[in-house]
Amino acid sequence: MRAKRFYCRRNKDAADDFIKALRAAGYLWVSTVEEADFLFMDHDWVGYDASDNYNRALRSKPMFIYPHTPYSYFLWDGVWKAEKVLVNFVVGQAAVESMRIYGYPYRVESIGFTGCPIEEFKPTLGTKLLFAPAHPLHDGKYATPDALDQIREVSHLIVSNLRRFERVTVRHTHTLEMCGLDEFKGRRVQFECVDPYALADIRNDSIRAMRQNDIVISNATFLHMAVAIGMPALCYGCRDSIANSREGNAAHYTQYKHLMHFPLTLEDMSIDEILDCRRARDGRIEEWKRLNIGEPFQRDNFLAVIKEYF
């Protein structure tokens, strides 16, 4: 019997654990849509800047969706059209329930968190801070319209309290000006410039950077990973909604905000409250972790769903 073939447009390393599982199970990863029996794509395939023929070919094949980020499931809540798929794979139960609430029309399956281990919270008295703000996309623009304002607000908070930290490391992707990090110029901080689109093993490099520090301030995938490995971590930019993008805002976010929203608002915390987060487990963050990160990648469950179709 001919091995079933799949096409996956790899977006950074978000699909790597899935591709590895599929290939180990005997599926063949092919380089063109036309060769494939099914497609395995992330959330932004509909926005991919390609020819009309390519996009028509994509829509002609059965498709599975994998989670490019742990929270990208909000995009089908009125931001993008919910294109027909066999299964939309998501990370945790927050995604499953949120998509039920807003009425996603296709099958949703939770298959766990990929890319890093899931570990217990590790309290510390250390004060080495890693600030890793969101990075611009390929076009140099941010995924959300207010990203730069959010970064500048947190930068000011950190600079105003530099003396409270043994060390501050700012992890960025472009020039300080482009990333909204101007206020750190000439300050007593370390800079770590990385290109997430060029670095071959961005997730392990991110974990390395986290483990060299005591506290992480970030958002998006980096924040989820920090919480997953048990780091004291706080999310910036979540005062209002994180279910937004430059393409638009989620239509029903208030109905599932209690599931998706990080429970602490960094910008409203004092420096003492920020430092206190490293001392002991916070039940609110642990519940958010259970819902939004959950279990490690459930390889066998993932493959069992694929095998229902191919």
Whether domain 128-282 has CATH 3.40.50: yes
139-168 pLDDT, tens digit per residue, is 778 888 889 999 999 999 999 999 999 999
Written out in words, the top-level CATH class of the domain with range 5-113+295-309 is alpha beta
For residue 91, count CB atoms less than 10 angstroms from its CB and return exposed for 0-12, middle for 13-18, buried for 19 or more. buried
- Asked if residue 47 has pLDDT above 60, the reply is no
Residue pointed to by tokens 């819902």: 291
Mean pLDDT computed over 232-261: 89
Average pLDDT over residues 178-196: 93
Q: Where are the domains of the chain?
A: 5-113+295-309, 128-282
| Residue 253 pLDDT exceeds 80 | yes
Return the axis-axis angle of helices 220-228 and 283-292, rounded to nearest 10°: 110
Query: Largest Cα–Cα distance in the chain?
Result: 66
pLDDT digits (tens, 9 = 90+) for 100-138: 999 999 999 999 999 899 999 999 999 999 999 998 877
> Above 60 in pLDDT, residue 204?
yes
